[in-house]
Each structure stands twice: as structure tokens, then as C-alpha cells.
Amino acid sequence: MKDTANIQVMSNFVDAIITARQSIKSFLLPRIKELNGHEITYEMFQVLYVLWRKSEVNQQEIANAVQKSKASLTPLIDNLAKLKLVIRTEDANDRRNKIISLTTEGKLYQKKFDPLIHEFYLTFKGDIPFEKIREITSILMQASNNISK
């Protein structure tokens, strides 16, 4: 890919991904604070969001999903555990790993955020047709897989 125009296209593609991620955080951050004061942070919300989709997850999978190291994830999980939203248990297959699970309170806590998540999805989608969103999702997954090879 020596063509300057193609390099610029790829640069714009990566910039758009970064901008979208920043836009997501800018949209959600004040609304999360508005919903719960300072009970949970944006980063704690990200962990909960992963768990709301899967219920129980290996700590490394959560770290990957929220793009944090396991070490920086530990205090987030500790704080969520203090709020009785998650519990940490040993992985039966590998005691070095921890499984993070939602408590009943953690599952109920999702209801507080469902309207926000719905509002976010509608706002983020805007007037983009779902077919385009499926296409973009497929392209992003393919690009991610190219890097993972």
C-alpha cells in the first residue's frame, strides 16, 4: 500500500474509529453521572455492560473488552463488589483466573440503565440504515481479524 491516497484512506478509517469511541464516551459519561451521581464511573459502567451481556465472564475477557489491563481492572471490580453488583470466584479450570459474575443486585441495576442504553443506541444510529450498520460491523470485524492473524 504505497499509494499516498490509500494511506490517507486508512488513516481516516482509523481516525473515524477513534472518534466514534470518544463520541460514545462523551455521550455516556454525563448521563451515567446524572443517573447515579458518582456511585459508578464510566469505566465501572463498561465492566457492567460486558457482564449484562454475558452475566459471568473471565476477568481477562472483561479486560480485553474494555481495553484495560487485568491490573487496572482489579480496582474497578473491587469497587463493583463493594457495591454488591458483582462477585469474584476462582475459575475451576485455572485457579489463577477469576470469574466475575453479576449478583442479583447487579442484574437489577441494569434496569436503571436500560433507558440510557436504548437512548444511546437510537442516537448513535441516527438515520443510518440497519443494513449499513450490519455492513460496517462486518467490515470492522474483518479489519480486527486482519490484525489478529
User: Which pLDDT belongs to residue 2?
Assistant: 66
Give 40-69 pLDDT, tens digit per residue.
999 999 999 999 999 889 999 999 999 999
Distances (CA, A) of 25 to 32, 81, 122: 10, 23, 15
- Which cell goes with 9? 484512506
Give 98-122 pLDDT, tens digit per residue.
899 999 999 999 999 999 999 999 9
The CATH number of the structural domain formed by 4-148 is 1.10.10.10
DSSP per-residue letters across 103-114: -HHHHHHHHHHH
Distances (CA, A) of 105 to 66, 81, 92, 133: 22, 11, 24, 33
